[in-house]
Amino acid sequence: MLENLSQESLGDGSVSPSEIKTYIEIGVLYGTAIISGLGTAWLAFKRKKCKEKLQKEKEIIAIFEDKNKNFQIYDRLMYLRIKSSADRARICQFHNGGSFLSGTPMKKFTSTHETTSKGVSNESEKLQNCVTTVFHDKIMAVKENTPKIRLVSDLTIESKSKSFYKSTEVEKFAILPIHKNDLIVGFMEVEWNEGSEISYPNDFESIFTLVRSQIEFELGKEG
């Protein structure tokens, strides 16, 4: 087409009406292509911005939901601790911890929530990525699923759990598993320190079991 136009233009330098019409058509085609390209780019940009906005809104909602969930969990833990005149109440959750050289999976637990009475140390930092086999007697107590109050002195001398309790001045404790879809995903623990004035209610076991159910509900929420 351009060759034909250049040939038709040779001569006195004037432009024929057919050439003008052709140039206009070419200009319209180029203009349409440019506008179409800009429009496509603009739409893609708008879609990207909308997706980013939706993602940010979802993240904000998730953050608020997570904060609300944690608030409810701490509220229930604090209620349990105060109602039981305990020094600590905590939640530990099980998780994968790699594997041994033999290929056997390594199971661990980590303290995720803990509340303490005034003047009592928080021990959560010491209970991160703990190998379950090291705390064998604690895990066995979890599996018993009995909300009774236990004496640290009754644990075996070589017990890692006993050593840990002694190092944090714990005299008595109670422990229950946390379930999700019939699987044990963690445990709740209540502790009373040596020398503390222990005046837990007669219905402690019922209170502990009730709070456990409430926390299972909160932990079971998505997000």
Residue 185: which pLDDT band, with cuts at 50, 70 and 90? very high
Residue-level pLDDT at 32: 73
Residue-level pLDDT at 61: 42
Q: Alpha-carbon Rg of the chain, whole angstroms? A: 35
CA distances from 74 to 93, 140, 143, 187 (A): 15, 26, 24, 15
Q: What is the DSSP string of the chain?
A: -HHHHHHHHTTTS---HHHHHHHHHHHHHHHHHHHHHHHHHHHHHHHHHHHHHHHHHHHHHHHHHHHHHHHHHHHHHHHHHHHTT-SEEEEEEEEEEEE-TTS-EEEEEEEEEEEE-TTPPP-GGGSSSEEGGGGHHHHHHHHHT----EEGGGS-TT-HHHHHHHHTTEEEEEEEEEEETTEEEEEEEEEEETT------TTHHHHHHHHHHHHHHHHTS--
Angle between helix 136-144 and helix 160-167 axes, rounded to 10 deg: 90
Residue 112 φ/ψ, nearest 5 degrees: -110, -25
Query: Given a cut of 90, is residue 221 above it in pLDDT?
Result: no
Query: Closest by alpha carbon to 197, among 174, 176, 172, 166?
Result: 172
Higher pLDDT, 21 or 152: 152
pTM of the full predicted structure?
A: 0.68
Residue 15: which pLDDT band, with cuts at 50, 70 and 90? low
What is the percent of the chain where pLDDT is above 90? Answer: 50
Query: Closest by alpha carbon to 223, among 48, 77, 59?
Result: 59
Count Cβ neighbours within 10 Å for each residue of 102-126 and write b for 16 or more, e otherwise: eeeeeebbbbbbbbbbeebeebbee
Mean pLDDT of the 168-188 span: 95
